[in-house]
Each structure stands twice: as structure tokens, then as C-alpha cells.
Structure 1
Amino acid sequence: MRKKAKSEVNKPILRGAEVSRAIRNYLLDGDLAPGSRINEVQLASNLGVSRTPVRAALQALAGEGLVEYKDNRGFFVREFQLSDVLDAFEMRALAEGFAVRLAAERGISPQSELDVEKALALGRKALSAETSEQARTDYSASNEAFHRAIHDASRSRLVKDVVALCNSVPQTIFRNVMSFSMETLAHRVEQHEAIYEAIIARKPKEAEDIMRTHVLDVRRAIMRDMSRKSGA
């Protein structure tokens, strides 16, 4: 029997759900190129598991629309057209706007207030970061935390389900926005602050309008980036 290398012995054993989550993150973060064939053997090796949980995860992800199976050829990373991305953003803007309207109408819990305020504090921290890379990292974390807290504050399962569906299009995930500037970052942080103020003031229409503008601003930025990339 081959003696296991030290790195293999110490490598954690991933469960099926963890394998699916890891591959999903690869796809959503763009680590696997759109349209490329997925090498199951290499993927299994990278994750330190056999091909069985990898294949099960890919079958599940095919059901989510993130990958495609082609007869006798295997699994491929799904390619999304610009129209798919724009449609997903339109739907996300509606869902996110609905979430803040519900939060403002129903009022938010002390825990939700705390979660939102922590996210806003991280956003303000991003504005004073020493490097643009650190600013982007801090803002990305702040943004994800802010929207997650808003979804929780809405107390709506429907909102979470619709946003999860939109997230099956990788380009709609806010951390994947390619365009970046400190001016843009500052504007988005201001929008977060304004959304929260409208929720606390119990102004549902105002909160909804700002949130929809916020999401559609990102949509426009991604549309510009994708158009430039396709024309390069």
C-alpha cells in the first residue's frame, strides 16, 4: 500500500454538500471558464475527493442551471448571454426592492438592525482603505452582508428564493462586478446608508426606489463591462 503524503493525511475530507458548495463557488467566482468542459478527475483531485461526489454535485448543479451535460462529452460550464444577465438583474431589482419595502413596512428586529449596521461599518471602512484592492475586498464583504441582512429583515422566503435563482447567473453576483473606482464605491456605500435610513424611518416606497436604483446601477456597470469585453 502506498504511504500517504503528509499533505494528504492532513487534508480535510469533504462531505457531499461541501463538494457541491465548493464547485458552485468555483463557477460563481469564474474560476471555471464559461463554455469550458469540466475535468472531473482534476476537480476531484483539487478537492481531495473521489469522482463520485463530484459527479453527484455536477448533476445537482446542472439542475440549478449552472452547468450543462452533453451526451458522451460530459459536463460543461454554462455560458450566459448578455440578455440573460440583464433579465436576471431586472428580476433581482424587483426582489431586492420588495425586500426593503417589506422590512420598512413590518419593521426590523434588533438583530437585523445590528447586522445591517455592522455591514455599513465595513462599507465605511472600505472608503478609508490604503489600497484599491483592500477597498474592493472590504466593500465586497460589506455588500454581501448588507443584502443578506436585508433579505433576513424582510422575513420573506420568496425574496430569498428569487435572489438565489438570480444568482445562478454568475455575473449578477455583486462581488463579480468588474468595474471599480473609489467614486463608485463611495456612491454605493451612500446608497446603502440611504436605504437603511428609509427602512428605519418606515418609508417603504423610498427604500424600494433607492434599492432598485442601487441594483440597476450595478446592472448598467456590468452591461458596459460585458459590452467592452465582447468588443475587445
Structure 2
Amino acid sequence: MARSARTDKGASQTLKAVIGIRDLVFSGTVAPGERLSEINVSAKLGLSRTPVRAALARLEQEGILEAIPSGGYSVRLFSIGDVADAIEIRGVLEGTAARLAAERGATPTKINALKALVARLDDVVETGVNDIDLDGYMSLNAEFHEMLTELSGSRIIQRELERVLHLPFASPSAFLEAQMSVPAFRTSLIVGQAQHRAIAHAIEMREGSRAEAVAREHARLARINLDRVMKDKSLIDRVPGLVLVTG
């Protein structure tokens, strides 16, 4: 039992280190190309070197950091193409998840839970995009995408999507805060919610091809919003992680 407790504590410290390093990187506190060492990061986060070492290795696997041959890691710089590719991969994976959910069939209980979630999203959006509860919408939006992945019944897809979503600009909620500042963005929330309804309906009707097509189109909204953000530098700070992107 004592060994298990130590293992749990170690995992907790590693997770704390991962979150802390992500915050340093995504906030721009650590600049792209800047070197990260175990000693410096440990001092910044107030953690021992063991969990920091594990966290740095994990973030390298996620693609956020790059190993330096002489030792340590550097913060990776992404191109617009990298971001577009990450969004595209999310669309492919979520499209596949939606198709599998439809083709394999979900239980009535799960379908009802999905429809109830879409209804809650409808309630938030129907308040009017100018008065929308952004935090509430982001939470429900994330829940919808998580449920979609779970309904696929594929642990492989769930794992690969989790990996892609560790890149902040690939997240379904990546551009939502920026959206609230621009009328065209706010309008895209309405389009996105219509797509949520269409995906849920296609899964319920077991229409795999339709579910996949709409889910992939849904991810493309993020690509459209990416292009808008990159044209207005004042919005970049509103999207976590875009400080790592070069035009």
C-alpha cells in the first residue's frame, strides 16, 4: 500500500509539472527556441527534478518541446501549416469517431445523453451570441467532443485524439474566446451548433457517412477562424498557444 501511495504521489507531481510547463510555454513566458533545463524548470515551478524530468519527456512526445542534443529541451516553434495540419488531423479523427459511433450503434441511454447535451448547448446559444455564457459554452462544447470520441468505442482513436488536443490550437475550444470579439466569429458559433445537432442526429439515425462528413466540416470552422485570427494580431493573445506560431 505504501508503494502504491508513493506511485500515486509521483504521478500527481508529474501531472502538476506537465500543467505548469504547459502554462509557461503557452503563455509565452518561455519563448519559442528558449532552452528548458530540469534545474531551471524545477526552480520556476517549485518541484523536484524527478517529476520535471518526466514532464519534459512527455511534452516532447506531445510535440510541444524538442530535445537538444547537448541536453535539455527547447520550446518548439510552429508554422501556420503545422497548426492547419493539427486541425485537419483532429477533423479526420473526430470524423472517424462519429462514423464509428453511427455504424456501431450507441445504446438508447447514450443517445439520449448526447441529445440532452446538444439541447443544453442550444439553450446557451439561443440566449444570443452577444450575451452568450462563454465559459458555459466552452465547457459544454468540450463535453460534446469528449462524448463523441467515447461513442466511437475505439480506445485507439481516443488516445490519438488526446495526443492531438494537447496542442492548444487544435482544441475544439481554441478560438472561442477570440470569437467573442469579432461578429463573424460569433456567427460561426451558430453554424457550429447546427453542426453539433446534425452530428448527433446522424449518429442516432446510424448514418455513418453523414456523421463523418459533418464532423470533418465542423473541424474546418477552426481552420477558418485560425485564418481570421492570424490576420488580426490583436486576437492572437486570446488563443492560448498561438504565441508559438510564426506567420
TM range (shorter): 0.7 to 0.9
Query: Distance in 2 between the 1:172 and 1:115 partners?
Result: 25
Q: 1:208 aligns with which of 209, 212, 218?
A: 212
User: Any unmatched runs of 5+ in structure 2?
Assistant: 1-8, 234-244
Shifted more, 188-197 versus 219-228: the winner is 219-228
Q: 2:200 aligns with which of 187, 196, 201?
A: 196
- The aligned counterpart of 1:70 is 68
- The aligned counterpart of 1:4 is none
**How far apart are residue 34 of structure 1 and its match?**
5.2
- What RMSD, in angstroms, separates the aligned Cα atoms of the two structures? 3.2
Deviation string, structure 1 residues 53-91 (Cα, Å, up to 9, x no partner): 123211221122211233557433222111111112222
Query: Does 1:84 pair with 2:82?
Result: yes
Larger relative contact order (CA 8 Å, sep ≥ 6): 2
**How far apart are residue 35 of structure 1 and its match?**
0.3
Shifted more, 177-186 versus 30-39: the winner is 30-39
- The aligned counterpart of 2:16 is 19
Query: Does 1:161 pair with 2:159?
Result: yes
Query: Distance in 1 between the 2:33 and 2:199 partners?
Result: 39
Q: Count the aligned residue pairs.
A: 220
Query: Distance in 2 between the 1:131 and 1:34 partners?
Result: 34
Query: Does 1:226 pair with 2:246?
Result: no
Query: Distance in 1 between the 2:163 and 2:10 partners?
Result: 29
Question: Could you say if the C-alpha distance between residues 231 and 78 of structure 1 is closer, same or farther in structure 2, counting changes exceeding 3 Å?
Answer: closer
- The aligned counterpart of 1:147 is 145
- The aligned counterpart of 2:241 is none
Query: Distance in 1 between the 2:43 and 2:194 partners?
Result: 44
Query: Distance in 2 between the 1:129 and 1:47 partners?
Result: 41
8 Å CA contact retained: 1:109, 1:153 = no
Query: Distance in 2 between the 1:110 and 1:49 partners?
Result: 47
Question: Could you say if the C-alpha distance between residues 205 and 22 of structure 1 is closer, same or farther in structure 2, counting changes exceeding 3 Å?
Answer: same
Question: Could you say if the C-alpha distance between residues 202 and 156 of structure 1 is closer, same or farther in structure 2, counting changes exceeding 3 Å?
Answer: same
Percent identical residues? 29
Question: Could you say if the C-alpha distance between residues 128 and 36 of structure 1 is closer, same or farther in structure 2, counting changes exceeding 3 Å?
Answer: farther
- The aligned counterpart of 2:242 is none
What one-letter code is carried by the residue in structure 2 that aligns with 1:116? L
Query: Does 1:31 pair with 2:27?
Result: yes
Shifted more, 46-55 versus 154-163: the winner is 46-55
Query: Does 1:175 pair with 2:173?
Result: yes
Counterpart secondary structure, 2:74? strand
Query: Does 1:185 pair with 2:193?
Result: no
8 Å CA contact retained: 1:198, 1:207 = yes
Question: Could you say if the C-alpha distance between residues 231 and 63 of structure 1 is closer, same or farther in structure 2, counting changes exceeding 3 Å?
Answer: closer
Query: Distance in 2 between the 1:42 and 1:59 partners?
Result: 15
Question: Could you say if the C-alpha distance between residues 63 and 73 of structure 1 is closer, same or farther in structure 2, counting changes exceeding 3 Å?
Answer: same
User: Any unmatched runs of 5+ in structure 1?
Assistant: 1-11
Query: Does 1:100 pair with 2:98?
Result: yes
